[in-house]
Structure 1
Amino acid sequence: MSETGSAAGAAWERRSEKVSEIIAREIVRDIAKRGLAPNSTLESESAMLERYQVARGSLREALRILEVHGLIRMKPGPGGGPVVSEVDSRDFGRMATLFFQVLGIRFAELVEARLILEPLVARLAAERRDPEDNDDLRAIVQQGFDAEGTAEWLRATDAFHAKVLAMSGNGLLTLVARAMKDVFTERASSVYVAHEGDHVRRAHADIADAIIAGDAEAAERLMREHMDEYVKRVAEREPYLMDEVVDWR
């Protein structure tokens, strides 16, 4: 192929990629506009080609972009096709780790960001508390005390932090903070075992009490102390983790 032909081909590929990104954005807008719930099946390929007025290759590339980002999944077989995925902080975190790795972000920096964000979120949860959340928060704390075995206890601790984040009333802070937690705990999930977590259970109970009482300063302070203790435990058990670059997974 001549240099002119190669350049023309490359230009066409760039245009095609741009079209696919535009169509991906339009599909996302349509999903949001139509309020499609998770597990909703999108239109057939022929209907989408008609709706978006693009070539089949561009449409398929657009769907692939959304699949890679965890916004849809492709259901195989008869009656299959693109299906709306459950939006999950783990998918957001997984996408973010691609940038973390390229930028050389270390786990120490990720932890520092958590130490700033989660105490702030606990303060917001106390300031913006909804009495309807109180019983749920108390029940989650009790699950931690009642848990039998490491797996059940880890689920309870995850539920506690998820609930506090949700109570902040800020969806963006909740998503970002939870994604960072997901990324970190995937690498350091073995730091605690159930029989040595009594001080963590107590910390969760004290934080919950402060949030329910609307004591924003105490909630922030207790969450910071709790996170500091957690980070120290990680550093003791996995001393090399903090200097590692967060890798894309």
Structure 2
Amino acid sequence: MSLLRPLKAAEIVARTIVGDIQSSGLSPGTSLPSEAAMLEQYGVSRESLREGLRLLEVQGMITIRRGPGGGPIVGAVDAAHLGRVSALFYNMAGATYEELFEAWVWAESELAERAARNPDGELRAARMESFLCEHDGGDETLGSYLEEHAGFHRAVAELAGNRVLAFSLQTYGQIVTHHVAVLDDPRNLRGVLIDDHLHIARAVCNGRPRRARELMQTHLGGVVDYCRSRLAVPLDSPIEWL
């Protein structure tokens, strides 16, 4: 049974490194100790240490800078990393894009409702402030556009008051967004998305949970319709991270 499988040495050291990052309050971009220091600190073989670091790198917990002066660096807690790993499990389970879209609409709508129910009105206003006005996209790059879009959904999720839900439920949207970015140009939807974000932000800011949920459902329903018509991926095929 997988739940009872003993952890490998590499998994134990990976977990210990994450624990040390958390307990020490290390921020993204902070350099971790050298390999020699880690070998002494954790008392494992070089092979186990390197495998443990690779596990963390694949999952986005750290990045490894190559060359002189390089080494492991603390990564950011990003739902995109979890989405990338989750897509592998969904693929093996045979989960389809139609199922992904259904889960995505429900998840983001739930987060929007919870965000609007957050009892701290000042916090709601502060988190939604930057989305309460129109933005001129101008000549923005694809990367900056995706970050702006992800930033809105991240801000909503953070107001939901449950970090497990906020982090895990965002992964569905990360997979969808990645597909749109690879197979099409999501900036084609900018006018619709930004306008939708504005209305959702107002509902969250004003503490209207039912309205926030309805607006998010409508918003994502439009995106799903766009994906169905434009993405060259059979919707009954298993989910992949392209």
TM above 0.5, yes or no, is yes
Residue 4 of structure 1 corresponds to none
The separation in 2 between residues aligned to 1:67 and 1:168, in whole angstroms, is 28
Residue 89 of structure 1 corresponds to 79
**CA apart distance, 1:122:** 0.6
Residue 165 of structure 2 corresponds to 173
Residue 236 of structure 2 corresponds to 243
**CA apart distance, 1:89:** 1.5
Whichever residue aligns with residue 186 of structure 1, its letter is: H
Residue 30 of structure 1 corresponds to 20
TM-score by length of structure 1 reads: 0.82
Q: Deviations over 1:203-225 (max 9, x none)?
A: 32222221111111111111112
Unaligned runs of 5+ residues in structure 2 are 1-5
Q: Deviations over 1:113-168 (max 9, x none)?
A: 11111111111111105424425524224244x22257465554333222222221
Residue 209 of structure 2 corresponds to 216
Q: 1:142 aligns with which of 133, 142, 159?
A: 133
Alignment of 1:72-151 (within 5 A): 72-128=62-118, 129-144=120-135, 146-149=136-139, 151=142
1:227 corresponds to 2:217: no
The separation in 2 between residues aligned to 1:115 and 1:149, in whole angstroms, is 30
TM-score by length of structure 2 reads: 0.84
Larger Rg: 1
Q: 1:161 aligns with which of 124, 139, 153?
A: 153
Q: Secondary structure at the match of 2:235?
A: helix
Q: Secondary structure at the match of 2:73?
A: strand
Contact residue 191 and residue 233 of structure 1 kept, 8 A:
no
Whichever residue aligns with residue 160 of structure 2, its letter is: S
Contact residue 140 and residue 156 of structure 1 kept, 8 A:
no
Whichever residue aligns with residue 64 of structure 1, its letter is: R
Residue 3 of structure 2 corresponds to none
**CA apart distance, 1:229:** 2.0
1:42 corresponds to 2:32: yes
Q: Secondary structure at the match of 1:188?
A: helix
Percent identity over the alignment is: 33
Alpha-carbon RMSD across the aligned residues, in angstroms, is: 2.6
The separation in 2 between residues aligned to 1:65 and 1:157, in whole angstroms, is 29
**CA apart distance, 1:236:** 2.2
Contact residue 109 and residue 213 of structure 2 kept, 8 A:
yes
Aligned residues: 233
Residue 182 of structure 1 corresponds to 174
**CA apart distance, 1:46:** 2.0
Distance 1:192 1:25, change over 3 A: closer
